[in-house]
Amino acid sequence: MNWEQITALCQTELLKFRRELPEIATFFPQPDHVATAFIDHERDTNDAVEMAVRQFAADRTWPAMTPIERTMLSFRLDFAASVATLLAQQPAPWTDTEDSHHDEERIGWLMLFAWGEEGFSTLHNNLRRLVSHETVA
């Protein structure tokens, strides 16, 4: 798979997840505590979400997950689709190839490494700004 195909895969999976998820407010009922609740949910679901990502990267199937695990995974799918879109537009050093032996590494990189390095902290910072009424740039 190349990055465009991974983008499409992540977007397709994200749409499936969103159709089946309860309203997001279910998990974040108090607007003043969104950031704290998000951090708690991320911590509590991280192991299950990582295992699900690894399974999906290896064989394109998702394990059974709770609604909050699926919700937290949806944030990673959204992030992965965004990063993959950028990578699809960038030439070297990420030269594209159709070789399927890179799929697991690429999908894992997007939703595990990139999330840990940039995704979660960026999302957390934006949530903090939202609840403190700062302007989100």
How many folded domains does the chain comprise? Answer: 1
Q: Is the pLDDT of residue 137 over 90?
A: no
Domain membership flag for residue 72: yes
Average pLDDT, the chain: 81
- Give mean pLDDT, residues 19-44: 84
What is the per-residue pLDDT across 34-44, written as a single tens digit (0 to 9) for each?
A: 888 888 999 99
In a domain, 13, yes or no: yes
pLDDT digits (tens, 9 = 90+) for 93-118: 555 566 666 777 778 877 887 777 67
37 assigned to some structural domain: no
- pLDDT confidence band for 127 (50 / 70 / 90): low
Domain-located, residue 137: no
The answer to whether position 108 is within a domain reads yes
* Res 101: pLDDT: 63
Q: Structural domain of residue 100, as residue ranges?
A: 3-21+52-131
* Contact predicate 81/14, CB 8 Å: yes
Residue-wise DSSP of 3-31: HHHHHHHHHHHHHHHHHHSPPGGGT---G
